[in-house]
Amino acid sequence: MRTETVTSAQNAKIKALLALQEKSRARKEAGLFVVEGRRELGHCLDAGFRPRTLFACPEIIPADELQALVEQADALNPDCLLIELPAALYAKVAYREGTEGILAECEQRERTLDALELSDNPLIVILESVEKPGNLGAVLRSADAAGADAVILCDPLTDLYNPNLIRASLGGIFSCQVAAAPGEEVITWLKARRIRILTAQLQDSQWYYDTEMTGPTALVMGTESTGLTDAWRRAADAHIRIPMLGRLDSLNVSVSAAILLFEAVRQRHGR
């Protein structure tokens, strides 16, 4: 792997890195995204995403950990470039505080339904028009913990490679299978595979723990403000809800997803 040292914030590679961090348009035009941190980058490389450039601060990241990441990146892309930065410059480009001395530019991957590989008894999370990166990241963490087959985003309002989403997911955006597609296309895809559709909604619904989740199941959730569209309500095999005993009538979508996912785990594994 080629190595360079950069010391100026005016360097073109530094400016390009900052643009990728800050602008969705820049990410889409370049077909790249930024991942920061040893754990997150490790998950990214484990999932086979091709690195284009590594930015490392040898004053921060231990030499053995950097070497392991360099070797893994080199195996995926021998043309990957390692750029070493002094601590002062690294602090300016690091997206978060308490950084670990490593970040990378990696190539985006198309997230299609056809690319998903499902088990014989799939468990899928579907989110419609959820826009907050933090919520999406938290759902991905829960999906990973519950062993879900995939997370599908219908008509997403946020960039799947938003740095806040990657950070909130702790790398779950890489360890989970993720796809994005229009809602009607996803409904057709689920019906063709005989995956039962359970929509989380208040109207005409039954308690989630009284609902069968042991077979192929898709748990569908919308935004807290508007809920699900009528297309999903009509397509559902069952409408489910979580008891709300206080004055409020909704939970954060990431909390709801975790509750429903682990009810499926309980029913399937008796845990």
For 244-253, the pLDDT digits (tens) are 888 877 788 8
Give Cα separations from 11 to 2, 32, 55 (angstroms). 17, 18, 13
Nearest to 197 by CA among 95, 131, 125, 112: 125
Residue 122 is encoded by which pair of tokens? 């799939």
Residues in the chain: 271
Q: Distance (Å, rounded) from C-alpha 128 to C-alpha 149?
A: 17
Contacts of 54 (CB under 8 A, 6+ apart): 1, 69, 70, 73, 80, 81, 82, 83, 102, 103, 104
Inter-residue contact 97 to 21 (CB < 8 Å): no
**Model confidence pLDDT, tens digit, residues 64-98:** 999 999 999 999 999 999 999 999 999 999 977 66
pLDDT of residue 225: 64
pLDDT of residue 130: 81
Low-confidence ranges of the chain (pLDDT < 70): 97-99, 156, 224-226, 271
Q: Which position has the token pair 């005016």?
A: 10
Give Cα separations from 262 to 18, 38, 173, 205 (angstroms). 38, 28, 19, 19
In CATH, which of 3.30.565.10, 3.40.1280.10, 3.40.50.10140, 3.50.30.50 is domain 113-269? 3.40.1280.10
Nearest to 129 by CA among 217, 263, 232: 232
- Reduced to 3 states (helix: H, G, I; strand: E, B; else coil), residue 105 is strand
Contacts of 269 (CB under 8 A, 6+ apart): none
Q: Count Cα atoms within 13 angstroms, Cβ side, for 231.
A: 11
What's the whole-model pTM score?
A: 0.89
The phi and psi torsions of 152 (rounded to 5 degrees) equal -115, 130
pLDDT of residue 255: 93
Domain ranges of the chain: 2-107, 113-269
pLDDT of residue 95: 79
CATH assignment, 2-107: 3.30.1330.30
Residue 73 is encoded by which pair of tokens? 């990146």
- E strand residue ranges, 18-92: 32-36, 51-56, 81-84
